[in-house]
Structure 1
């Protein structure tokens, strides 16, 4: 599949990690990288002023709550989990997206600052994700929630959203929707897209393997909190929107998951953005497809909420 011209420009402009010796990266280097300025911050979108942005805790998990509606009426809630391979990323780094989602959906958006690996390995992030979802159902008045709740996640955040979705089902909590944007769904990393896009397309196969080791070294890859694609029964899960990038190692597992959901009778819409690379959704300043994808996701959320 040929790269989209904007994806080609992006890869030429921002250095790939394909020559990195991932095994040599230690905790100090990880923390230094986290503290560095976001090299693409200017392309993440504007920090649009909203009438309500507040940092809170949900069962001791840091969250940031966004609301574009200036009133105090009840609204549906969208829970957002950032990407970063369970190692990087933060509420601060995805601040522009949190604001944008609140504007596009008209919902209260709750962005989750889950614990990061390797300091907090599996299932730390998954536990935090589930804690926040559970808290929103338990305290609707605090969130000014109508009781209609959806989850959205990118990459590793898509992994957390998918895991939280089946945990909600099993706990008898009904999610309105789940949006999985180029999600990590199988720790096996053995799909054709892993081979086709292993190097030179942004997210390297070796880098993804390193992320899995940092988060879940020694964990059974069939554990559905790590590999939701391995969940034995996906029937009864929340309706889903799955977004994939055409030139991404994670493409196939996202599309396989969408196929499994459809086979089980779960309403699902899968959309591949041809020629796109991993991470495009968060960079509307660089990718026209990011705006198109966000419009699509927001429409699906508004319909379901």
Structure 2
């Protein structure tokens, strides 16, 4: 279908302001512009019961872990230990911070009834692959180690993220499988990068400078991989894993007008072929990045509600009461 009218209006506004593509800016300029754009498109963040900032030792130094808590349980006989979601922000491994995903984390916290954690993983090119993945692993292990203090059930964990955050989520499930845990109930992959060597129709077709395009993809990969040999690693390109068997059930969301569309859908099909339960949903007429734009695109709120429903089902199953 054509670009959705709401997305077309967003594109027209970008054209009228003359805002340059992020890949033409300096890193400092791109990081500031990216955060400003996301905040404007996300609108007013939802209130949650509490937001906590913690510091913990990571593999390259102290890291920030932000915890979002839902309203206290009200249903009778509900466990005081809540499930937890580690949500990894997007930004091509180059841009972003926990502030980038703040509005998403708040919505998912309330809608799922879970503690949501966001880690300020190290960014490229200052800290190339695999620094970000190592930090995400450290954050998950920290959640498990301090589960009692955080009020988290370590048996009900999920991971998720958009774009590079989806890539890191997929890579983290592969890494945890290789290390023997901790076990995850679910992975939420929102238009993830899955293969550095992708040469797909969606990657070739989308070159609009007013939208995230194939040059954006190349720019981000160029920062993330200091050594091109790392591109073949399944921890950088999850689609290249020898097998995807035994990974957590997945929800994969893609966007029609996204150069990453095909590799995200290929990853969903590869998971399914390996016996992993998968739900794949493509949002027609939507560009890359739409998931965060709840103040601008109706599809963003719909996609977040769908993702929350999938996470609720995964994290509140096995006889536990689902929050209403």
CA RMSD across the alignment: 2.1
Summarize the Cα distance change of 1:238–1:21 in structure 2 as closer, same or farther, 3 Å threshold: closer
Q: 1:138 to 1:241 in 2, by over 3 A?
A: same
Residue of structure 1 in register with 2:41 after alignment: 43
- Partner Cα distance (2:38, 2:167) in 1: 23
Q: 2:27 aligns with which of 25, 30, 43?
A: 30
What TM-score do you get using the length of structure 2 for normalisation? Answer: 0.87
Structure 2: any 5+ residue segments left out of the alignment?
Answer: 74-78, 316-324
Give the alignment of 1:1-305 within 5 angstroms.
Answer: 1-15=1-15, 22=23, 25=25, 29-35=26-32, 38-59=36-57, 60-70=62-72, 73-147=80-154, 148-173=156-181, 174-200=183-209, 202-220=211-229, 221-305=231-315
Secondary structure at the counterpart of residue 258 of structure 1: helix
Aligned length: 301
CA deviations 1:128-175 (Å, max 9, x no partner) are: 111112222232213211121000110001011001111122222210
Deviation of 1:114 after TM superposition, in Å, equals 0.7
Moved beyond 4 Å, runs of 4+: 15-22
Assess, with a 3 A threshold, how the Cα gap between structure 1 residues 142 and 17 changes in structure 2: closer, same or farther. Answer: farther
Return the TM-score normalized by structure 1: 0.92
* Unpaired runs of at least 5, structure 1: none
Q: Which moved more, 1:261-270 or 1:141-150?
A: 141-150
Q: What is the distance in 2 between the residues matched to 1:144 and 1:63?
A: 15
Could you say which residue in structure 1 is the equivalent of 2:318? none
Deviations 1:218-253 (A, max 9, x none): 332111111011111100000000000011000000
CA–CA distance in 1 between the matches of 2:101 and 2:217? 20
CA contact (8 A) 1:201 1:248 kept: no
